[in-house]
Amino acid sequence: MNKELNIVQSKNVFFAILLIVAVVLGILTPGAAVNVDEQLHYPHAKKVVDWYFTGGKDKSCLDTPITNLKYYGQSVDNYTALVNRVFHFENEFLVRHYTGAFFFLLLCFFSGLVSHQLTNSYWISSVTVLVLVFMPRLFGQAFGNLKDIPFATGYIAGVYMIVRYLMELPKPKWETAILLGAAIAFTCSVRIGGLILFGYLGLFGVLYFVLKPFELKHIVSTRPCFVRLTGQLIVIIIIGYFAGLLFWPYALQNVLKNPLESLGVMEHYKVSIRQIFEGDVIWSTQLPWYYWPKWLLISTPEFVFLGFFTYLFLLFKSGLRQNVQGFLYESFLIFSFLFPIVYVLLIKSNLYSGVRQLFFVLPPLAIISSLGIHRFFKLSIKPAYRYAGTILFFLLMLMPFSHQAKTFPVDYIYFNSFSGGNKSAWSNYEYDYYFHGLKEPAGLLKEMTGENKIIVASNCNLSNYFDDLPNVTYRYVKYLERSSYDWDYGIFGVNYIHPYLLKNDKWQSTTALKTFYHKGNPIAVLLIRKSKGDYQGIVELENGNYFDAEHELIYSLDEDPQNVWLMVQLAKIYLLKDDLENFNKYVQKGREIYPLYEPFYLLEAQKLYNENNFRASYAKLEELIQINRRYKPAKLLLQEVKDKLDIN
């Protein structure tokens, strides 16, 4: 009786916690920030919907030579575009964010179910939900990340259904087989990497029969059982593969070839993105092998590692002594966490933006951590030790919770104490790569401008904050090159600003109206353009009016003395005028602020080329390539120098 009462109580607690999480998500959703990927994937989702509504006549969703978006299933993005098109919701991003919150809730639900499968305890299911909620990197992207969070949901749902299917052997229910197929289909519909679940089913199905050979003999020798299993596997494959392609136009062009082509593209993504890692700027295709493991170590809360390593210690201390089924299912859980990590490291996948591309391994990690605390609490040791260790686990949860409460909607930027915290990580690692920090300055600017016609410049694509203001024109502008464009106000995130400038406080402009902080670190800045002399000077330079350009740029540089782009333009003028004294003056002056700035190397190489010193010019370009091997403006001069030196 007491046991049954405990089960009912623990199950009620589990669902009560899920309800609380649902309420919190519902309250937070309207305040969530839009991320830069939403402005990339959502317009594509609208094109996907157009493809269906036009019967395939609108093929714009199939023509993505730069973004490669046709290779993404992105079914959840597509679903939100469909809902917004049918119901005409005014705030389309709010619909997306509620959808994201729903899938995060499902992620918690299925993770809790897996915990229950392995322990038969809903108390551990409740702990698992808390672990997931207090992982800021995961929870902080619950609203706008409609790729990684739904994929993680499908992945852990697939793990749950595979375990359930194996548990029901030798006579699994048809319901289980169909739901397993549906879980795989959904995961593949988000990203084709969900095909991995077929491999899991096959591998651990084989291991199941290795550990229980008599059941295999029974199935093979019993025709109804054999036919049933064969039929179920066929249904799982058909549903899991083909149903996952239904909302993916590119896959439907060739249902066998294109999904596999997409898998190859995703495994070896060719688009390289500059990343700040260990205080340096590195292209993502050149990051060291330990990039993702280190990110996991520095961005995962301490309590998760406490539970994880407790689990491993107790597992090996027990000598792996478990019943056959318990060993199989826990091995599967560990495998579902470790295998994707090992696999992407072995094939040298192009990973970037912290841990998010492997978010789907975090739920298995959370479950393992919960199991560790569960096992520790059941140890035959002094009660004081058991309670102290368990209390410590939950007390450590307060650290990320405090961070989340203070920093929402920019709470996904979290670094644990092992890394030195956010203060130490700023300018050493990617910080606000999703540009959540621009929500606050955008809100402030909207309040300030009223109905005045203005041009807003920003170094990201988050024009959505001004979509409801017809008087605002939004323009993408690189922060350092901001003087080359016409704008009135600028909202700039610090992401992609070189660590040297950040660490030496040489990135700030005197035109800053307000700097916005995250845990004491600058995260965004709002600029007001007091004069457009810098822009006019560059326009005059482009028109060949060097005298007027020089006058405007010198005056503007006096007003904004750390604007290295103006120094580049002045150096360019003096190079064109063959005034090498002033040329060297502004190159040197600019280098005092930003010694690694590529345009200075290019200008010096051009000067040496003009002097017919081709070998020295080539050496200077080699220095530039060492700093940034993908600096496109140097391509033409480099080829000209190679031609002069007869270098292939």
Spatial contact of 523 and 492, defined as CB atoms under 8 Å apart: no
pLDDT per residue over 232-278, tens digit each? 999 999 999 999 999 999 999 999 999 999 999 988 888 889 999 99
For residue 595, whether the previous peptide bond is cis, meaning omega lies within 30 degrees of 0, is: no
Look up tokens 């918690």; give the residue: 108
Spatial contact of 244 and 194, defined as CB atoms under 8 Å apart: yes
Distances (CA, A) of 601 to 238, 538, 576: 58, 20, 16
Encode 461-490: b = buried (16+ Cβ within 10 Å), e = exposed.
Answer: bbbbbbeebeebbbeebebbebbbbebbbb
* Alpha-carbon span 281 to 286, nearest angstrom: 10
Residue from 335, 154, 146 nearest 240 by CA? 154
pLDDT per residue over 31-52, tens digit each? 999 999 999 999 999 999 999 9
pLDDT per residue over 282-321, tens digit each? 999 999 999 999 999 999 999 999 999 999 999 888 766 6
Q: Is residue 560 scored above 70 in pLDDT?
A: yes
Q: What pLDDT does residue 647 have?
A: 86
Q: Which token pair is 225?
A: 């059982």
Which residues, at least 6 apart from 177, have a Cβ–Cβ distance to it below 8 Å? 165, 232, 233, 235, 236
Spatial contact of 180 and 158, defined as CB atoms under 8 Å apart: yes
pLDDT per residue over 73-104, tens digit each? 999 999 999 999 999 999 999 999 999 999 99
Q: What kind of architecture, by CATH, is found in domain 547-645?
A: Alpha Horseshoe (1.25)
Spatial contact of 233 and 187, defined as CB atoms under 8 Å apart: no
How far, rounded to the nearest angstrom, does the alpha carbon of residue 508 sit from its chain's CA centroid? Answer: 27
* Alpha-carbon span 604 to 197, nearest angstrom: 55
Beta strands in 529-608 (DSSP E): none
Whole-number percent of the chain with pLDDT over 70? 98
Q: Is residue 224 scored above 60 in pLDDT?
A: yes
* Alpha-carbon span 458 to 479, nearest angstrom: 7
Q: What pLDDT does residue 1 have?
A: 46
Beta strands in 217-317 (DSSP E): 274-277, 280-283
Residue from 274, 273, 248 nearest 261 by CA? 248
Read out DSSP for 369-428? HHHHHHHHHTSSS-HHHHHHHHHHHHHHTHHHHHHHHHHTTSTT----GGGTHHHHHBTT
Spatial contact of 304 and 131, defined as CB atoms under 8 Å apart: yes
Alpha-helix runs per DSSP H in 412-545: 421-425, 439-449, 499-503, 533-542
Mean pLDDT, residues 440-452 taken together: 91
For residue 363, whether the previous peptide bond is cis, meaning omega lies within 30 degrees of 0, is: no
Distances (CA, A) of 418 to 134, 181, 338, 424, 552: 17, 41, 22, 10, 50
Sorted by where each begins, the domain ranges of the chain are 34-407, 436-528, 547-645
Mean pLDDT, residues 131-148 taken together: 97
Q: Is residue 5 scored above 90 in pLDDT?
A: no
* Alpha-carbon span 156 to 153, nearest angstrom: 5
Distances (CA, A) of 269 to 72, 262, 350, 571: 12, 10, 6, 38
Which residues, at least 6 apart from 141, have a Cβ–Cβ distance to it below 8 Å? 35, 148, 149, 356, 359, 412, 434
pLDDT per residue over 502-548, tens digit each? 999 999 999 999 999 999 999 999 999 999 999 999 999 999 999 99
* Alpha-carbon span 32 to 96, nearest angstrom: 11
Q: H/E element holding 456?
A: strand 454-458
pLDDT per residue over 423-432, tens digit each? 999 999 999 9
pLDDT per residue over 337-378, tens digit each? 999 999 999 999 999 999 999 999 999 999 999 999 999 988
pTM: 0.95
Q: What number of residues does the chain have?
A: 648
pLDDT per residue over 166-205, tens digit each? 999 999 999 999 999 999 999 999 999 999 999 999 999 9
* Alpha-carbon span 134 to 43, nearest angstrom: 31
Residue from 623, 592, 528 nearest 603 by CA? 623
Look up tokens 């392609």; give the residue: 245
The type of residue at 168 is E
